[in-house]
Structure 1
Amino acid sequence: MSEPAALLAPLPSMDRARAVMNALADYIDRSGLKPGDRLPAERELMGALAVGRSTVREVIRQLQALGIVESRKGSGTYLLRTVSAATVHMPLSFDATHLRDVLLQTLDVRRGLEAEASALAALRRTDADLAVIGARLDEMERVHQEKGTAGREDLAFHLAIYDATHNSLFPQLLEQMREAFESFWAKPFDRPDFARRSFPFHRELFDAIAARDPDAAREKTLAILAVVEEDIRDMSQ
């Protein structure tokens, strides 16, 4: 295998993250890396591409979100599946200065995406999938009872439902919206009780998926998102 420096070159200052993403994808393709192979170390990438540590780490995180690589603590970053620059896409971008509008926009997308994901999960879930969804729900309810809110646990619950569709595009699409969600959950309009009224519907959604009832799963998902929208509009007036 060729040395990284032979296949990578310094980048212009504009749009560094996108350029690093494409350069890494091209490197993976041209160097013949196979699933299970280790990528060049962070310091090697920084030197070969003439970019900072934060840019490299951001791109690695994006590749992880897309299911292309995985990072193993103390060992490095390893390729999960082959890829080229033509098949890698950057995550969606949001203007976080207009957070209310961003969240309402994501809800427009989530209605179609999550309602269908919930219905497919009800039809396709395995017993193992159901156990994971149930565990995530239990943790979400536990944290909610202790703290009055459970934003990250809620996201984990929905990610488990997406995984149960056995369609990798669902978790990837939600991951691409993660920046907006994380910005929001960090400080939800100074209201720790945000979307509290939606929590009972999560248990009902789980029950629908357990019963393999796609229509009920869609209905409960839309009920959750209706509460979220009401609270966003109410708290941002």
Structure 2
Amino acid sequence: MAGDISSLERIPRVDRVRSVMNALADHIERAGMKPGDKLPTERELSLALGVGRSTVREVIRQLQALGVAEPRVGSGTFLMRTISPGTVHVPLSLDMSHLRDALLQTLEVRRGLEVEASAVAALRHTAEDVPLMAATLAEMERVHLDKGTAGREDLAFHLSIYDATHNPLFPRLLEQMRETFEGFFDQPFDRPDFARRSFPFHRELFEAIVARNVPLAREKTYAILEIVEEDIKDMSR
């Protein structure tokens, strides 16, 4: 339920779309709204925040494009996923009905983020970061050897690298794109051997980061993602 909206406060004229977006996300978080709950109406938001309906409509359109809200004719607008002010601007998802295209698009983003994250982690990691990276890698290896695949454990390992950058934007971006990235870890194309050839490179990547070898960390990350790209193209034929 939308609940009491008295906590919403009027906002200044500057950057109203962003301000309304933040205010609505804050309300959703503090009201404990869940997917399926109905959002306040355009009129309620307009009056509570002191903005025009056109601004509210633009915010709803953006939330709809992000997969956060769904307007239903005659019923109102409904929350599709929970958000907060810290995540509202980049909760990314893709249309996974076209799996090959979605994975290749996501891979382009992964390549930009992960190669740079590996390099920064090699430069900035501390002694406290190494045990966490080692533990997540060991768990990934254990599950992989036991089951032949280790999707969630693979993601946890990469998150530990992001944490080791000591740049909070890296883990925040990965968390906000988690749903999209997890498309790689659900046995795409019903092939449990997807990206299996990349498995040995993860330990080599870890060792390069620990050794503070930036060029090698980049190289091993590229190697992992090149195999992923090859498998996407080969297995989707």
Per the TM superposition, whether the score is higher than 0.5 is yes
Corresponding residue of 1:7: 7
Q: Would the aligned equivalents of 1:8 and 1:49 in 2 still touch at CA under 8 Å? A: no
Q: Partner amino acid for 1:199?
A: F
Q: Would the aligned equivalents of 2:38 and 2:79 in 1 still touch at CA under 8 Å? A: no
> CA shift at 1:130, angstroms?
1.1
Q: Would the aligned equivalents of 2:149 and 2:193 in 1 still touch at CA under 8 Å? A: yes
User: What is the total number of aligned residue pairs between the two structures?
Assistant: 192
Q: Would the aligned equivalents of 1:120 and 1:165 in 2 still touch at CA under 8 Å? A: yes
SS at match of 2:192: coil
Corresponding residue of 1:75: none
Corresponding residue of 2:66: none
Corresponding residue of 1:39: 30
Q: Would the aligned equivalents of 1:21 and 1:59 in 2 still touch at CA under 8 Å? A: no
> CA shift at 1:93, angstroms?
3.3
Structure 1 residues 189-208: aligned runs within 5 Å: 189-208=189-208
Q: Partner amino acid for 1:125?
A: H
Corresponding residue of 1:153: 153
Deviations 1:187-223 (A, max 9, x none): 3211111111101100000001111111110010000
Q: Partner amino acid for 1:139?
A: E
Deviations 1:79-127 (A, max 9, x none): xxxxxxxxx4041231111111111111112222111110100110011
Q: 1:48 to 1:102 in 2, by over 3 A?
A: closer
Looking at structure 1, the residues matched to 194 and 108 of structure 2 have their Cα atoms a distance apart, in angstroms, of 19
Looking at structure 2, the residues matched to 157 and 25 of structure 1 have their Cα atoms a distance apart, in angstroms, of 30
Verify: 1:114 aligned to 2:125, yes or no.
no
Runs (5+) with no aligned partner, structure 1 = 10-17, 29-37, 67-87
> CA shift at 1:176, angstroms?
3.1
> CA shift at 1:5, angstroms?
2.8
Looking at structure 1, the residues matched to 140 and 236 of structure 2 have their Cα atoms a distance apart, in angstroms, of 25
> CA shift at 1:174, angstroms?
2.0
Looking at structure 1, the residues matched to 127 and 144 of structure 2 have their Cα atoms a distance apart, in angstroms, of 25
Corresponding residue of 1:234: 234
Structure 1 residues 13-24: aligned runs within 5 Å: 22-24=22-24
Verify: 1:217 aligned to 2:217, yes or no.
yes
Taking structure 2 as the reference length, the TM-score comes to: 0.70
Taking structure 1 as the reference length, the TM-score comes to: 0.70
Q: 1:41 to 1:65 in 2, by over 3 A?
A: closer
Looking at structure 1, the residues matched to 140 and 97 of structure 2 have their Cα atoms a distance apart, in angstroms, of 28
Corresponding residue of 1:144: 144
Q: Partner amino acid for 2:152?
A: R
Looking at structure 2, the residues matched to 102 and 56 of structure 1 have their Cα atoms a distance apart, in angstroms, of 24
Looking at structure 2, the residues matched to 65 and 134 of structure 1 have their Cα atoms a distance apart, in angstroms, of 29
Q: Partner amino acid for 1:59?
A: T
Deviations 1:132-158 (A, max 9, x none): 111000000000011100011101100
Looking at structure 2, the residues matched to 144 and 125 of structure 1 have their Cα atoms a distance apart, in angstroms, of 26
Q: Partner amino acid for 1:39?
A: R
Q: 1:65 to 1:102 in 2, by over 3 A?
A: farther
Corresponding residue of 1:130: 130
Looking at structure 2, the residues matched to 157 and 177 of structure 1 have their Cα atoms a distance apart, in angstroms, of 16
Runs (5+) with no aligned partner, structure 2 = 10-17, 42-68, 71-77
Q: Equivalent of 1:59, from 57, 78, 82?
A: 82
Looking at structure 1, the residues matched to 32 and 92 of structure 2 have their Cα atoms a distance apart, in angstroms, of 27
Q: 1:122 to 1:49 in 2, by over 3 A?
A: same
